[in-house]
Amino acid sequence: MIKDNADKHRVEVWVDDQLAGFVEYHDHATTRAFLHTEIDPGFEGRGLASELIKDVLDDARSNGRQVLPYCPFVRSYIERHPEYVDLVAADKRDEFGLA
C-alpha cells in the first residue's frame, strides 16, 4: 500500500503492516520537489522503489503538479521512463540532465 504521510512530508510504501520505504518531498505552490528515496534493506529487490516513484509521478500528473527530481532515484526513473519528462518544467530539465 502506498500512502501520503503529509505530517512527515513523504509518501510511504507499506508491505503488510511494515513500513518498507518512502520518498521525501517538499511542496511549493504547484511544484513538488522529491528529495530522497529510501527502501528498508529487508525489502530491497522487490521493485518497491519503482512502484513508489511511478505512483507519486502519476499522482503529480493527475493533480497538475510539476516535479523537481533532486533525488537521484527519481531522476533516473524519469530518465528510464521518458513519458514523465514533461512533469519537469522545460526550463529545469537541463539542470537534471533531462533535456
**Identity (one letter) of the amino acid at 8?**
K
| N-terminal to C-terminal alpha carbon distance within the chain | 33
Return the DSSP state at 79: H
- Decide: pTM greater than 0.85: yes
User: Using CA atoms, how far apart are residues 74 and 29, in angstroms rounded to an integer?
Assistant: 20
Confidence bin at 53 (pLDDT 50/70/90): very high
- 66 located within any domain: yes
- For residue 49, what are the domain limits? 2-14+25-96
| CB contact at 8 A, 36 and 72 | no
pLDDT tens readout for residues 57-67: 999 999 999 99
- 19 located within any domain: no
- Name the residue with cell 518544467: 89
- 37 located within any domain: yes
Distance of CA 77 to the CA centre of its chain: 9
- 69 located within any domain: yes
Give the CATH number, domain containing residue 38.
3.40.630.30
pLDDT tens readout for residues 12-45: 999 999 999 999 999 999 999 999 999 999 999 9
Question: How many structural domains compose the chain?
Answer: 1
